[in-house]
Amino acid sequence: MERQLEPITSPPLTFRVNCKLSGPLSRCLTAQDLSRVIGSGLCRLLGWKVELRSPQLEVSVYLSGDHSILGIPLTRLPLASRSYMRTTGLRSTVAWALGSLAGIQDVHFLGVDIDDGQLQKANENVAFANLGERIHLMKASCSGLPVSSGSVDAVVCDLPFGRKFNTKTNMADSLHCIVSEMERHVVLRPGGSLVLLLSPPMSCQLKKLQTGPGRGAPPPQEPELQAGTQAALPPQEPELQAGTRPALPPQEPELQAGTHLPSPLSALQLQATHRVSLGAIDGLIHSYLKTR
């Protein structure tokens, strides 16, 4: 009597789903609901088994109003456990996106911060990774960078906006000054790249600064006088003594009809805007090209 061989069955693959939502969808759908729907579909179609504590595979899903991203980690340990990093800061995936948009190649790096504690932690990371010959750190303010004219090919900046790192400076008031310092010829060369990580309010503010009205608009018209009213007389100038000349006011350049002075940050051309997840909130990456 022949005996039928039973097929060898392996235990099902265990997995969990990690979802993040942003934009309008986050107001009508929760990450838990989306994870539950995706998990049920994988169990039904592939026969996998849900395991939330120690799964064999993790499926990461990022869903926004206009696109979705599906990713599967290729390493067992998270990037935060890298042996060459003593102190972690910005998310490694977001930091990679900033560097990728700036087109960083085999270059010399210059790190600038105004805080002694941040510089000390960065110096420990540089020394531990044995990169002291390529990375140099200096203490300076981003509103006055001590570098020679046109010596920088790319500027990458994570501006603090009060979540993980805070600042005593009012960023809403200082944003124009900071970006202008990065843009001007003293720092970024023509053709160079500027990549900024901003909060959503700072992103809107910077766009308004770039598209602000020019200074060539016609002056406002004076209100008409009603009957029986007198116009205010201009203040009389003091009489001149013999041998003296009147002080001439500084002359402003004449604007031709239909022309406007350059708008703020006019040398920066916006290349792209990308929304990224920073955990509890989203950030916006602005990528610029300096045109002149």
pLDDT in tens, 83-94: 777 777 788 888
Least confident of 69-78, 169-178, 200-209, 277-286: 169-178
Same domain, 96 and 28: no
Residue 285's φ and ψ, nearest 5 degrees, are -100, 120
Structural domain contains residue 87: yes
Residue 42 binned pLDDT confidence (cut-offs 50, 70, 90):
very high
pLDDT beyond 60 at 225: no
pLDDT beyond 50 at 219: no
Same domain, 35 and 177: no
The mean per-residue pLDDT over the stretch 96-112 comes to 88
In Å, how far are 66, 132, 227, 238 from 282, measured between CA atoms? 15, 33, 59, 61
**Cα angle, residue 212 at apex, residues 172 and 22 outer, rounded to 5°:** 55
Which pTM value belongs to this model?
0.63
What's the pLDDT score for residue 249? 44
- Mean per-residue pLDDT over the chain, rounded: 76
Q: Which of 75, 101, 121 marks a domain boundary?
A: 75
Least confident of 34-38, 123-127, 154-158, 239-243: 239-243
Same domain, 95 and 164: yes
Provide the domain limits for residue 21. 11-75
**Termini Cα distance of the chain:** 88
Structural domain contains residue 55: yes
Same domain, 95 and 54: no
The mean per-residue pLDDT over the stretch 131-146 comes to 86
Q: What is the pLDDT of residues 118-131, one digit of tens each?
A: 899 999 999 988 88
**Could you tell me whether strands 282-290 and 268-277 are parallel, antiparallel, or unpaired per DSSP bridges?**
antiparallel
Same domain, 67 and 96: no
CATH of the domain at 129: 3.40.50.150
Same domain, 105 and 142: yes
Q: From the CB of residue 284, how many other CB atoms can be counted at a distance below 10 Å?
A: 19
Same domain, 280 and 146: yes
Q: Which of 23, 48, 75 marks a domain boundary?
A: 75
Q: Is 38 left (phi over 0), alpha (psi -120 to 50) or beta?
A: alpha
Q: How many domains does the chain have?
A: 2
What's the pLDDT score for residue 184? 64
Same domain, 164 and 286: yes
Q: What type of residue sits at position 12?
A: P
What's the pLDDT score for residue 135? 92
Residue 29 binned pLDDT confidence (cut-offs 50, 70, 90):
confident
Structural domain contains residue 2: no
Taking the CA atoms of residue 98, residue 103, residue 109 and residue 110 in that order, the dihedral angle to the nearest 10 degrees is -60
